[in-house]
């Protein structure tokens, strides 16, 4: 049975909440929206890089795969040229985890895969026989999944006019719920805190928010910019901040283990002495 994802667990949060199901497959996890497979995740660091005598410069089973029928692959690769057909499963377009800017690229590919009526994804033949999809092959140019009230206005105008957290770019109804649970009820509170303190509150409420993509979204919300279009300097700052948090957590865990170690030794010695008497 496949283990629970670790480094790639955050990608699940980009799927429509309550609308997807997950199933173990090939040692990883496959994700469905209704009957359509849209994503396959693997985590096998340092795994095989060779297939049929050919050696590749990336792990074959460590990253994200997006199923696209062969007739639509050329179109999909024009949209996302950073993907490659998987050497073993050519129907799946692959993004190795060590690809530069993996987070943003995986997010962009998944954004295409989950669009309504997208040619991305794959429906098992058994499901197709039972229920033909009349929309298969329709263009995905129009994205109506995330409407925004003040899309093209200056950030100052948007922030001043916003009444709810979900009025801001990159933040929908689910994000608004998370903000409320973290004690941030209004856009004004968010603005006053800034993205770093807001992220810390969200992480305290749920550790899954400790990821650079969430930081991008928060920065974009405060500047009225799509999360993947914020400046490179802002992305670098966000990554550095989130990585710093991860390092601090590891250090705290090490210290906690170091404190427990002498106690374990002491208890073991006590048990050994008890056995002697």
Tell me how far the alpha carbon of residue 17 is from its chain's centroid.
13
In this prediction, residues 28-57 reach a mean pLDDT of 90
Task: Please tell me whether residue 37 adopts helix, strand or coil conformation.
Answer: strand
Q: Return the top range by mean pLDDT from 64-73, 148-157, 228-237, 265-274.
A: 64-73
CA dist 189 and 166 (Å) reads 13
Helix (H) or strand (E) segment spanning residue 248: helix 232-276
CA dist 161 and 166 (Å) reads 12
Q: Which of the four pLDDT bands, split at 50, 70 and 90, describes residue 139? A: very low
- Identify the residue with better confidence: 188 or 207: 188
Two structure tokens written together for 190:
């968010």
| Residue of 82, 94, 87 whose CA lies nearest to 41 | 94
Q: How far is CA 271 from CA 39, 77, 190, 261, 274, in A?
A: 51, 64, 54, 15, 5
pLDDT tens-digit map of 217-272:
899 999 998 877 888 899 889 889 988 887 777 666 666 666 666 666 667 767 76
Sheet holding 20-25, edge to edge: 20-25, 28-33, 36-42, 63-67, 92-96, 84-85
pLDDT score for 1 = 46
| Residue of 171, 38, 168, 176 whose CA lies nearest to 116 | 38
Percent of the chain with pLDDT over 70: 79
Domain segments of the chain as ranges? 9-130, 149-277
Task: Please tell me whether residue 31 adopts helix, strand or coil conformation.
Answer: strand
- Identify the residue with better confidence: 226 or 107: 107
**pLDDT of 79 strictly over 80:** yes
The CATH number that domain 149-277 falls under is: 1.10.150.20
Q: Which of the four pLDDT bands, split at 50, 70 and 90, describes residue 148? A: very low
């Amino acid at each position: 049975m496949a283990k629970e994802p670790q480094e790639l667990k955050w990608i699940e949060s980009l799927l429509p909440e309550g609308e997807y199901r997950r199933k173990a497959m090939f040692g990883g996890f496959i994700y469905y929206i209704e009957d359509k497979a849209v994503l396959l995740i693997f985590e096998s660091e340092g795994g095989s890089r060779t297939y049929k005598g050919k050696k590749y410069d990336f792990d074959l089973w460590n990253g994200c795969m997006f199923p696209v029928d062969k007739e639509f692959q050329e179109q999909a690769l024009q949209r996302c040229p950073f993907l490659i057909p998987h050497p073993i499963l050519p129907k799946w377009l692959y993004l190795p985890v060590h690809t530069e800017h993996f987070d943003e690229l995986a997010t962009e590919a998944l954004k295409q895969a989950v669009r309504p009526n997208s040619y991305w994804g794959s429906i098992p033949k058994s499901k197709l026989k039972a229920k033909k999809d009349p929309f298969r092959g329709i263009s995905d140019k129009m994205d109506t999944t995330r409407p925004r009230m003040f899309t093209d206005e200056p950030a100052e105008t948007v922030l001043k006019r916003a009444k709810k957290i979900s009025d801001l770019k990159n933040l929908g109804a689910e994000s608004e719920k998370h903000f409320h649970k973290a004690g941030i009820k209004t856009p004004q509170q968010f603005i006053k805190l800034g993205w770093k303190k807001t992220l810390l509150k969200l992480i305290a409420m749920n550790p899954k928010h400790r990821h650079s993509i969430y930081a991008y979204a928060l920065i974009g919300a405060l500047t009225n910019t799509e999360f993947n279009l914020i400046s490179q300097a802002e992305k670098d700052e966000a990554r550095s901040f989130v990585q710093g948090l991860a390092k601090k957590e590891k250090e705290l865990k090490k210290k906690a283990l170091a404190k427990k170690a002498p106690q374990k030794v002491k208890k073991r010695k006590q048990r050994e002495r008890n056995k002697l008497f």
